[in-house]
Amino acid sequence: MTITRTLLGSAASLGLAAGLATTAVAQDNVTLTIATVNNGDMIRMQGLTDDFKEQYPNIDLEWVTLEENVLRQRVTQDIATSGGQFDVMTIGVYEVPIWAEQGWLTPLEDLPENYDTDDLLPSIREALSVDDQLFAAPFYGESAMVMYRTDLAEEAGVTIPDQPTWTDIKAAAEAMTDQDAGIYGICLRGKPGWGENMALIGAMANSYGARWFDMDWQAQFESETWNEVLTDYLDLMTNYGPPGAAANGFNENLSLFQQGKCGMWIDATVAASFVTDPDDSTVADSVGFAQFPNKEGVDNHGNWLWIWTLAVPAGSQKAEAAQQFVAWATSQDYTQLVAENEGWRAAPPGTRTSLYENEQYQEAAPFAEMTLNSINAVDTSAPAEGEIPYTGAQYVAIPEFQGIGTAVGQTFSAALAGQMDAEQALQSAQQLTQREIDRAGYGSD
Amino acid sequence: MATQHSRAAARFMIAPSVVLLLAWMLIPLGMTIYFSFLRYNLLMPGANPFVGWENYSYFLTDPAFQTAIVNTLLLVGGVLVITIAGGIALAVLLDQPMWGTGIVRIMVISPFFVMPTVSALVWKNMFMNPVNGLFAYLADVIGVQPYDFLTQAPLASIIGIVSWQWLPFATLILLTAMQSLDSEQLEAAEMDGASAWSRFYHIKLPHLARAITVVVLIQTIFLLSIFAEILVTTNGGPGTASTNLTYLVYAESLLRFDVGTGSAGGVVAIILANIVAIFLMRMIGKNLDA
Amino acid sequence: MARAVTNKTKAINTAIAWTVGILIFFPILWTILTSFKSEATAIADPPVFLFFDWTLDNYTTVQERSNYFRHFMNSVVISIGSTVIGLAIAIPAAWAMAFVPGKQTKNVLMWMLSTKMLPPVGVLVPLYLLFRDWGLLDTRIGLVIVLTLINLPIIIWMLYTYFREIPNDILEAARMDGATLRSEVIYVLLPMAVPGIASTLLLNIILAWNEAFWTLNLTAANSAPLTAFIASYSSPEGLFYAKLSAASTMAIAPILIMGWFSQKQLVRGLTFGAVK
């Protein structure tokens, strides 16, 4: 089938099918098609592929760079139908165990000797393994933390402790907001999507002691704690957030923060290297960091864990070359390469112990320690308080979660846009979650 | 009169188009109908059991379904009203003698060449963004709070963007029709002392009836499946405020990967589109046979 | 012109028309201008219009990230290919329907148009599976087939309405003179139909160029046209207005320029039978 496709493709484009195919076989040239997301670190990787070409002159790389939602749709559709359009896929930590169980991923058994899997952070490695076999290589990992403007905090006369509570956050947001000057005390995600606003709200819920489901797979949105979560979120955002927050995701908030419009921003740790980059950020030298907040009396800092990984689809004809690429892009040498080209601050964070032991990195990246602590604090086996039937983090690790999370995210986003109040939003979230989960047959067996 | 021979030739000439379109309609449609009776989720491979009407009942009882129908109608209707009213106004304007007609015409038709994704991106970010957009700046200048278009009025904003893209098409068709109007008739009316308004209302507008029907037909076909603009600007939200039927089907089959329910939704959408089509065809048929 | 047009009315018309024209065109103009700004200037408050340091940096950045030329070539091949094939299939059909109308002609025509109402998202998964089995995923041929089929109804309809306006008498006369069907088509019909065919061609190139659903979902690297190129800029990355503008300009420029140069031809046949 792949051969037919190559033939047809070449015939269509060049009409030289036969000629091309022969050369390909003779020189053993391989072209890898890599699907990736248009985040800063991945764009940087595209710029550094000359180094890879030097090491593997017979492997050509083709990039398909897409926005996160589109990327997820495209790769899921392709892998579920064995479409075979991609040789390397950028997927999230949520997908890895689910896809590995389905047998959709090639186990990474052919990694080069010097890859040093033991160097991967333990929580990261565990999250990407099934039965101790690694199924995807971490490109970068993140937890979440508070990023705030030290200058604005000082001006407003507030201090943000290293381990703030939500009450501290609210007080600081209030003090820093100066709408006439276009400064908003807090920027949080509001754009609907399980990987967008639900990542933040999900982590926030964990830190309040709320959970998605009880042991009988009954949705818990009508609980008192969820009510507190959503009420506080809406309260923070409507009073101290930027206009249009219901459309802001990670990238939009990053842009706002870099322009100096946000007092605080609670989001993925990976943002730290961008907000402290003097080339892109107008506030680079006045950013402080603190751990993800918790509710007083709840020992849970959100359990946010996200890893962008590179994985190889099962049944790929080019699995060997694909693994060579995956190994290159997630190796210590790649980190070194980024450091040489862009400085240590830009090194892809959150995957390897060696990076955090590197003194140059510690020096260049003031956020290193906070990032490492946040990641190490994550417990994916028990993300939420109370007894729960699922594992996960700011997400619930079941296949149905994408649909449920996105629909709930839409509802909460509508609440943020002022179309309904917290009560109504929770009620509708409860109904649609239960409807979906019952249909999928959870709890019935 | 057409001869037997030429009839046969005609059939022979139409055949390829009919066969191709029939195949295009039947193969994917047939598969869609088949899938719509299966429990088929891409994320959960394995047996795809036959589940009867379950997918349909699930899709039709989705609270978002009614909203989506209403939104679809509002979107199509809103854009039609704006583009036709605007198109007539522009056609009248461009029909007047002036300097530089050619350049004005080029400026007016340009939005038609812009791909939907690009136009949605540009409007969303550079104009409607409540912090950095040009509209926010203008609001600032006149001293009012920036309006958050895509959150406060998502559907209306999308109608605006889509209208901007389709206004040129309506204008062009209407302008051509306007220019085909016999000028002697107008002059005669003018001699009789008819005002500019009554000349427009009694002579020009009736003459445009055909052209308006054509615009309605062609635009409806495209507007029923508006998708890229919604995906780029609002993702159907906030809530389901800007979800149309196409987007709802997308959400089912490609965000939830529930191909079964998505297919059921697709079939429903096709049926509804065809109801609209029959309605339109009647209208057009009347107008075009004349 | 019998009606006296004073210079004053003409001046007023001109002023109104230019204002409206510039307003409608402004979003495009603004995008093009922004593409030459630095990222900081792009969000400057107050906005700067013409007087800034013009730079080509954004274009360089975009080009480094994506292979513009390949996307461009794919767009060209796919839109022209699908249009030409579509015309080849549609011209005979439209000719036959216009000149040898039967009882069912109108219904067939309406049925053809109704196939355009098939919502693409509803049939994506089935088509994806078929394309996988036929080895058509991420090929230009695959896209040409799909775009030909989705635009075929419009092509046929547009040609049909145009052909119908060609006076039958002329054809009758040609037949009397003993013209064969072939020569009737080549020597009589085609010359008269050229404007209609030309504007159908142009309209369909535009539609195919801008089609953003199938072109994004059925391609990966090899056959991805400009609609896929722009998709990688569709979410912000820090400050990105200038880069977005550059990418947008690159995506729309070819078709915009083609449109400007051919607008006379485009307009001439773009009536869909609206003129009687």
| Three-class DSSP labels, B256-283 | CCEHHHHHHHHHHHHHHHHHHHHHHHHH
Q: CB A13 to CB C132 under 8 A?
A: no
For the domain that residue C242 is a member of, what is the CATH number?
Answer: 1.10.3720.10
Q: Is B223 exposed, middle or buried (0-12, 13-18, 19+ CB in 10 A)?
A: buried
Checking if the pLDDT of A25 tops 60, the result is no
C1 inside domain: no
Same domain, C50 and C75: no
Structure tokens at C101: 């109308």
Q: Would the pTM count as exceeding 0.90?
A: no
- Tell me the mean pLDDT in the region A403-414: 91
Pairing type for strands A306-311 and A137-142 reads antiparallel
For the domain that residue B263 is a member of, what is the CATH number?
Answer: 1.10.3720.10
List the single residue in B with minimal CA-CA distance to A103. B45
| Packed helices B4-35 and C140-164: angle between N→C axes, nearest 10 degrees | 140
Q: Would you place residue A229 in the very low, low, confident or very high pLDDT band (cuts 50, 70, 90)?
A: very high
Question: What pLDDT, on a 0 to 100 scale, did the predictor assign at position B11?
Answer: 84
List the single residue in B with minimal CA-CA distance to A429. B239
| Packed helices A224-240 and A401-416: angle between N→C axes, nearest 10 degrees | 50
Per-residue pLDDT reduced to its tens digit, C200-252? 999 999 999 999 889 988 988 889 999 988 888 876 666 688 999 999 999 99
Checking if the pLDDT of C14 tops 70, the result is yes
C275 inside domain: no
**Which residue from B13, B168, B288 is facing C93, i.e. has the nearest CB?**
B13
Domains, in order of start, for chain A? 2-142+306-363 (3.40.190.10), 144-304+380-439 (3.40.190.10)
Same domain, C152 and C120: yes
| Three-class DSSP labels, chain C | CCCCCCHHHHHHHHHHHHHHHHHHHHHHHHHHHHCCCCHHHHCCCCCCCCCCCCCCHHHHHHHHHCCHHHHHHHHHHHHHHHHHHHHHHHHHHHHHHHHCCCCCHHHHHHHHHHHCCCCHHHHHHHHHHHHHHHCCCCCHHHHHHHHHHHHHHHHHHHHHHHHHCCCHHHHHHHHHCCCCHHHHHHHHHHHHHHHHHHHHHHHHHHHHHHCCCHHHHCCCCCCCCHHHHHHCCCCCCCCCHHHHHHHHHHHHHHHHHHHHHHHHHHHHCCCCCCCC
Same domain, C48 and C78: no
Checking if the pLDDT of B143 tops 80, the result is yes
- Tell me the mean pLDDT in the region B122-144: 89
Parent domain of B80: 53-289
Structure tokens at B279: 């309605």
Q: CB A414 to CB B239 under 8 A?
A: yes
ipTM of the shown complex: 0.89
- Tell me the mean pLDDT in the region A321-331: 94
CA distance C225 to chain B (A): 12
C274 inside domain: no
C145 inside domain: yes
Same domain, C221 and C114: yes
B62 inside domain: yes
Count CA atoms closer than 13 A to B161's CA, side-chain side. Answer: 30
In whole angstroms, what is the distance from residue A346 CA to residue B281 CA? 60
C128 CB neighbours in chain A (<8 A) are 77, 81, 83
Please tell me if residue C174 touches chain A, with a CB cutoff of 8 Å.
Answer: no
Checking if the pLDDT of A7 tops 70, the result is no
B194 inside domain: yes
List the single residue in C with minimal CA-CA distance to B264. C122
Same domain, C12 and C71: no
Same domain, C51 and C93: no
Same domain, C104 and C182: yes
**Nearest one of B31, B22, B47 to B266, comparing CA atoms:** B31
C132 CB neighbours in chain B (<8 A) are none
Same domain, C134 and C252: yes
Q: CB A84 to CB C137 under 8 A?
A: yes
Same domain, C39 and C158: no
B168 inside domain: yes
Same domain, C232 and C142: yes
Same domain, C166 and C248: yes
Out of A205-209, B142-146, C41-45, C188-192, least confident range: C188-192
Same domain, C55 and C71: no
Please tell me if residue A77 touches chain B, with a CB cutoff of 8 Å.
Answer: yes
Does residue B179 or residue C175 have the better pLDDT?
B179
Parent domain of C123: 67-268
Question: What pLDDT, on a 0 to 100 scale, did the predictor assign at position C179?
Answer: 72
Pairing type for strands A137-142 and A129-130 reads unpaired
Please tell me if residue C234 touches chain A, with a CB cutoff of 8 Å.
Answer: yes
Place of tokens 């699907």: A35
**Domain count for chain C:** 2
**Nearest one of B255, B75, B249, B221 to B153, comparing CA atoms:** B75
C114 CB neighbours in chain B (<8 A) are 273-274, 277, 281
Question: What pLDDT, on a 0 to 100 scale, did the predictor assign at position C52?
Answer: 86
Checking if the pLDDT of C77 tops 60, the result is yes
- Tell me the mean pLDDT in the region C250-267: 90
CA distance C14 to chain B (A): 5
Checking if the pLDDT of A17 tops 60, the result is no
CA distance B182 to chain A (A): 50
Q: Would you place residue C1 in the very low, low, confident or very high pLDDT band (cuts 50, 70, 90)?
A: very low
Structure tokens at B156: 């209306």
**Domain count for chain B:** 1
**Nearest one of A422, A438, A44, C256 to B113, comparing CA atoms:** C256
Q: CB A410 to CB B150 under 8 A?
A: no
Q: CB A5 to CB C136 under 8 A?
A: yes
